[in-house]
Structure 1
């Protein structure tokens, strides 16, 4: 049986480290931002709407670039069937497992907590009976399955909210005093994930850290191509994450 390292090895050929927050890099999602602002517009809006409900940290494993391999796999693991579906789900589970095994301590330290006691995922609002991300996190990934809990539920009006951040998109079971690791597959605006973080905090979570498999970017939009060109200058390594990078810059 293949190991996590073996299953995830091929991803190092096309994963792209997010840039460290700074001029023209959003301090929240690590995507492009106008040089005069510390956050991009969607992250600014999430903070304005949700206030203290936003996550304490957002950590993308990699950029997911439109029409490139990683973004393609993040689509296919949900939208294909049979052996192909299993191949992509197994690969992405290995990516998440390997990343968290190496960097969850970085995340806890960044949030100033001793550890992340509970793990959950951002629920689907697309009508799927069981989102494959839940299966990956709750059953496949060894470093998350024993801490996994189904905490979040989409409200009846969740789909009507579109991509807008809202404290009424999800409800959460009680998590009083717990430090929660919230996992999502793709971050575009981040408003679904931040709305989920807000629900967890409203339910009593002490701290919420979001780990997202892919920060989706379209290089044909605005200054994104320049942002991605800079990100590609650093070869991907499993030994570093955006938080490690912040500590060494």
Structure 2
């Protein structure tokens, strides 16, 4: 492995899907309305509520109803991700949440950084939730290992090549290796988009995860980060 930048997906790649959909979603769901009401002066909260698309002055209950529908449909909507990210960050800070990582992930991240690799994250989860996720794992604080964070707000949709082009530009010079970034994900469509932008790609097939039986096409596939050399 000669690439300078390794860019990681989270859900299904570094961490179980259930830890997000069951753990984090269940934590955020009943707190959305109270969070909106208690943080109405926060510009990001106001912007997120406006982006839900309801008429100005809509009741919080109406806003929450749309947010819950998005959650039920696993819709990657930016205002939902923004509000969830803020709630999760508060939960991590309060010690009420702990991030999950597959056992091979923490040692691999540490080894890659020790070998001079640069690590970034590209997840549909907001950057505001990515940072505490890596800071509050059961295996210790991993946040210092991650140099850059990208989400659908600062990069774009994960299934569009243009998003990966933006990230590559933000990452800058590929370094001495001259290799493009390497993207690790459990979602073939995301790998296709990254490859279309000229990236190297590797599919991550985790046992028991939704993409365990996915068709990764021509993308190399691993079942553990230990296999990536």
TM-score range, shorter chain: 0.3 to 0.5
TM-score, normalised on structure 1? 0.36
Q: Larger Rg: 1 or 2?
A: 2
From the two aligned structures, give the one with the greater strand fraction.
1
Give the TM-score, by structure 2 length.
0.38
